[in-house]
Amino acid sequence: MSDHIVSSYDQELQGLAGQIAEMGGMAEGLVADSITALVRGDTALAQKVILADARLDRLQHQVEEQAIRIIAKRQPMARDLREIFGAMRVSGDLERVGDLAKNIAKRVIAMGGQVQIKRIVIGVEHLAEIALEQLKNVLDSYTARDPVEALQVRNRDDQIDALYTSLFRELLTYMMEDPRNITFCTHLLFCAKNVERIGDHATNVAEIVHYVATGEQLVDERHKIDDTGALPAVAES
């Protein structure tokens, strides 16, 4: 961020950045806890994730309110304006990441803490590890305003898409082989889709970082590896 003659303006921008950092840490923690709850069948931890998401929602509202106040008071231009709008957009993506973690936690509770097919649960855990690494890296790039690292995060999204597609097909196979697996595998399908969407939000943040740092929008449409379209759609209720 640039230095301003009015030091209070710098403090306001730094405060906004601090709130985003807090949101990022919370979002990472919620995702990690929701996956731990899934792997362990820990419904108590899942309930904690659901309750903790409300704090992330409040922080997002605070970021939006602070950003609007700064715009009204300072009438920022150029890089400063990109910083403020970027913070608002990043806060929205992080709030959505929290919602997706909460959705996973709700599935854990719906499953009653049961883990019927450990192998496929470990597959979802691996998918989440990659998504969390993406989230961590993109938050680091946001802190450093590093467009190069942001682009690397964007380009690695294909890994998550490919693994999600593989898990999707494997879960369908389990369901077709034994109807008793249908309920459990359906819950895991939703969990895997939520993790894949977390990866998408990390990619959204990467594009925001690039714009804030360079002033240039990424116009090339990112390639999505997802050939599950010919199969039943998965959408969170």
pLDDT tens column, 38-64: 999 999 999 999 999 999 999 999 999
Section 92-101 average pLDDT: 98
- Name the domain count of the chain: 1
Query: In the structure, what pLDDT confidence band is assigned to residue 237 with cuts at 50, 70 and 90?
Result: very low
Q: Is residue 107 part of a domain?
A: yes
Q: Is residue 91 part of a domain?
A: yes
pTM over cut 0.85: yes
46, 169 contact by CB (below 8 A) = no
Phi-psi region of 145 (alpha: psi -120 to 50; beta: other; left: phi over 0): left
Q: Is residue 236 part of a domain?
A: no
1, 17 contact by CB (below 8 A) = yes
Q: Is residue 221 part of a domain?
A: no
